[in-house]
Amino acid sequence: MAFKLSSEDLAAVYPIIKDSLAQLKQKVYYNTNSNEAKFLFDIIDARIETNKMEHHKAIFVLENSLRFHTQGLQDSLTVLNLLSPAYIKLRNYNKAFEIQEIFERIKHRFPESFKKQYSPKKSYIYMHLGMPAESTRELRKEFNEKPADSKKDTTVLGNFYNDMGVHFNRANKLDSAMFYFKKAKVLVDAKTRNDKNRTYFDFFSGLIEGNMASILAKQHKYAEAIPPLKKDIYFSLKQGNLLSAANSYNLIAECFMELKKFDVARKYIDSCKPLLEKIEELGPTMSNILVEAKYHKYTGNLAKASENYDKYIRFKDSIQKVDNESKLINQQISFDLYQKENLLVQKEKIIQQNNLLYEHEKTRRSYLLLSVVVLAFVITFLIINNQMNKRRQGELFIKNKHIIQQKTAIENALKEKEFLIKEIHHRVKNNLQIISSMLSLQSDVIESTAAKEVLQESRLRINSMSLIHQMLYNKSNMTDISISDYLKALLQQIEKSYAVSSCRITTTLNCDNVSIDLDTAIPLGLIVNELVTNSFKHAFKNLSEGKITVEFKKSDSQYTLIVQDNGTGFDAK
């Protein structure tokens, strides 16, 4: 698969397969609809542009692939993992940081295959943004999240110690930086003596010593810094790491200048220049210009020193200009991509419309041809069909008549059912009222006050149920009732029953405008009746006036009933 090839491997084989690859890509894009194949070519193109240091083009290809050709999480992660370093190369750290934030949010969804190739870069971004506290904290976090076996690996652990030293060195915390560099060196030197891959670990040891030398130079220990820098240059060139060698060339030249050995410093300055042409990073080039300016200043050639300082300033300004142009290019790329996406959508619509018109035209011609073929049979068919239609019309007339009769019967049955249900509610109401009247009559002939109160309470309960049936009888919709109307009528009914009391009691109803079914209304009415009746009987003894409040609210699928009064209350004990 294309995305499993390293950039170096792809760069090596690309000249050999370039023409064949271009032909195959053309066939894929114009003869198939395979997004999977297009995605693979996008990854190849992006890596080729990256090897050519055309990061703008790589970003354009990757963003286009992310919009149109990715087919799942694995594809999207692969594209984002290539986009992040491209943005970093262009020093667009905001975009790179956004991608790292996306990785943080969906880290738990990483496929196992992607976890092996994913390398967090937030600490690197923080370091270049000049945020040392955040960069060291993030670097520790990235290391702690590695698998336990990986953290024991000498290369991984050594890189962590070395990176911590670099971050602390950037923050000018030299003691902390030296501490981590020494830990890394002890670890790597032990591996160098025993490991088969000694060339790499010799380079790694030299790199660490070069970093330690940078601290010695900051501490003005120039003579001590020179031997480790020489070691770093030797093993970096041997390993092919020109960036590390160029940095050490510039630093060792500075050290020799500070020691007044200008001839030796000049040799190192000149030795660095061929390397600068082969590396992508601009930092060593700027450092070399600045070191050369210092050399001319120390040797008394102020004109040359001024020329180099001007060159350094111009170079720095040009980098800033390139950064600004990069941002504009990124914006232009996004805008172009958006325009191309809209253009592609419009083209797809036009193609769909043309296809639809073609299909319509094709269908029309087919129907025309078919009509010519069947025209000879139409007349005969019409004659036969006319005879059959007459017979069908007779059958349809009989069926329609039967349907109308059935419809009328159903409508009559529904009306009869509604009438019966109303009649049931009416009779239930009448029966309950008869029972209430009988209880009232019985109450008149009973002398016992307790018995009268029991009969009064029973009568109020029966009236609360009778009221529901009365309201259903008076409504066209007999499945539910308005709880507001029902509770209002119920409270009025209870007030009338206790109107003879010496205490002037008023009732207040705060109720949402909702409807409830019969099964809910009956127990609700009984509850309200019991609570309000209880307040009338016991809450206002020895009081001249009182107030009872009933609230009924609906919240989502729940109902809340509150009955309260301002009476004397009772002792909870």
pLDDT value of position 532: 85
Domain-embedded: residue 36: yes
Residue 498: phi, psi to the nearest 5? -110, 25
Distance CA 107, CA 394 (A): 74
The set of residues, in sequence order, having a beta carbon less than 8 Å from that of 90 and lying 6+ positions away, is 55, 56, 59, 323, 326, 330
Where among 92, 119, 146 does a domain terminate?
Answer: 119
**pLDDT tens per residue across span 244-288:** 888 999 999 999 999 999 999 899 989 998 988 888 777 888 888
Question: Predicted confidence band at 433 (pLDDT cuts at 50, 70, 90)?
Answer: low
Give yes or no for residue 117 having a pLDDT over 70: no
Token digits of residue 559: 């109902």
* CATH code of the domain covering residue 507: 3.30.565.10
- Cβ–Cβ under 8 Å, residues 487 and 526: no
pLDDT value of position 14: 58
User: In 434-501, which ranges are E strands?
Assistant: 480-482
Domain-embedded: residue 317: no
Provide the domain limits for residue 498.
Answer: 446-565
pLDDT value of position 188: 83
Domain-embedded: residue 465: yes
Mean pLDDT across the stretch 484-500?
Answer: 77
Helices (H), 277-301: 283-298
pLDDT value of position 2: 42
Between these two residues, 82 and 334, which has the higher pLDDT value? 82
Domain-embedded: residue 415: no
Share of the chain above pLDDT 90, in %: 7
Tally of structural domains, the chain: 2
- Cβ–Cβ under 8 Å, residues 471 and 483: no
Domain-embedded: residue 414: no
pLDDT value of position 1: 41
Between these two residues, 470 and 292, which has the higher pLDDT value? 292
Q: DSSP string covering 508-528, please?
A: EEEE-S-EEEHHHHHHHHHHH
| Average of per-residue pLDDT values in the chain | 78
**pLDDT tens per residue across span 152-200:** 787 888 888 888 888 888 888 889 989 988 998 888 887 766 656 677 7
Where among 65, 96, 119 does a domain terminate?
Answer: 119
**pLDDT tens per residue across span 93-103:** 788 888 888 87
pTM for the predicted model, two decimal places = 0.49
pLDDT value of position 569: 74
Domain-embedded: residue 526: yes
Domain-embedded: residue 387: no
Beta bridge partners of 76: none
Domain-embedded: residue 418: no
**pLDDT tens per residue across span 343-402:** 545 666 776 788 788 888 888 888 888 888 888 778 888 888 888 888 888 888 888 888
Where among 58, 92, 119 does a domain terminate?
Answer: 119
